[in-house]
Structure formats: C-alpha cells, structure tokens
Chains A and B, each alone.
Chain A
Amino acid sequence: ETGVTQTPRHLVMGMTNKKSLKCEQHLGHNAMYWYKQSAKKPLELMFVYSLEERVENNSVPSRFSPECPNSSHLFLHLHTLQPEDSALYLCASSQRRTGGHEQYFGPGTRLTVT
C-alpha cells in the first residue's frame, strides 16, 4: 500500500466509448503524474501536474485529456481510443522539495481497447 489508489483496476472499452481513470493520493503531495506502460516497453510520462500547473508530453494524443481538480485527485479522460492505446496506466505522486523527491506509484489500471 503506497498511499496512491487507482480505479478501476481493469477496464475494457470500445473505440467509440468515453471513460475516465481516477487516481487519489493520501500522502499530502503537491505533484501528480500519469504514465503509460505498453507491453515490453519502458514507462512513458504522459502528464505532470505540479502545484496545480500542467506539464505535458507533446507526443500524447488529444484523445487523452487529464484533469486535476485539487492536489489529491487526478483523472485521465479517454475518448475514441485506438487498440494501440491498450496498456497499463500508472498514476504517481511526489512532494516537490529541495534534495530530491521520490515518486510513489499506484497499482495501475490495465486498459484494453477493443
């Protein structure tokens, strides 16, 4: 138990569906992240919310839309996904501070796009 929870843990959706992934951190951190991990590939950073400011990876398609209503909650809204978007989606949080800031990850949402 890392203090970062994600729901749902598994999701199957069609290409025309709209769904949202939810992440909540109970650690009092001030930064949250979405990562994508495709099969046999390294983790890819998708979005960072730090002190309520969003930092994007420019290669993330617009069919992924993040939302961070407060420092404890992070959403990833999904619409018109492609089969290649099937992956493990991981949320993480950290506390920005001097001297390094380790990230704590949730268990992930296993997404399958059919």
Chain B
Amino acid sequence: DAKTTQPPSMDCAEGRAANLPCNHSTISGNEYVYWYRQIHSQGPQYIIHGLKNNETNEMASLIITEDRKSSTLILPHATLRDTAVYYCIVRASYTGNQFYFGTGTSLTVIP
C-alpha cells in the first residue's frame, strides 16, 4: 500500500472550514484514499473514502487531485467536537483487510 504524508498538527477556528491535506505521491490506480479520525482514547471513526472522484457525505468532503497524488479532507464548519487525530490511509481493495494507520494530523478546533 502507498505511503501517506500528513502534517503533524493543525489548528482551526470554530465555525470555519478545516482543510486537512494528505500527500500520497506513490498511489497506484487501484488504491483508494480513506480518512478516519480518532478522538482521544476512543476507537477510530470512519469518515469517508474515494478512488478518483470527489466525494461528500454528512460528515465531510474529500477532494482528490486529478493526478491522485494528494487529497484534502474538508470539514465545512468545524466544531469543538471535531478536535481529533485525522488519519489518511491509502490501500487497495484486494490486499487482505489491513489498514495501516500512521501518526495522522492532530486537529485542534479553537473556540
């Protein structure tokens, strides 16, 4: 599975959009981009995933560049409850069932 690079930490003002970047320059054509988040001492929570088209659900939007080498998770109106570590994971659908979680981005939403 392709390696991902994320900034270790970010701040965002409450009510503003939080844009979390992820680089995955070695991604291959059959690999999906997944985003999870983990609030302190809880289990990770699935947010969204995509292959090459932009995706949106009730939690967030996922923007994938045309060359698929990077993506951005957008939380449109950040709240204090969005403070968490956000993980970007790239994996192929056929490779077993493993997700490799890195160190992620620690997002702090500031009142």
Contacts and interface: CB of A to CB of B under 8 A. Distances in A.
B54 interface: no
Interface stretch (B14-22, B62-70, B96-104): B96-104
B26 interface: no
Interface residues of B, number: 19
Contacts of B93: 98-101
A48 B96 contact: yes
A107 B96 contact: no
B43 interface: yes
| Majority-rule SS of B interface residues | loop
Band of interface residues on A: 20 to 34
A76 to B, nearest CB: 15
Interface string A85-114: 000101010101011111111111010000
A103 B103 CA distance: 18
B43 A105 contact: yes
Given A104-B46, A107-B43, 7 more contacts: A42-B100, A42-B101, A43-B44, A48-B97, A94-B97, A103-B44, A108-B41
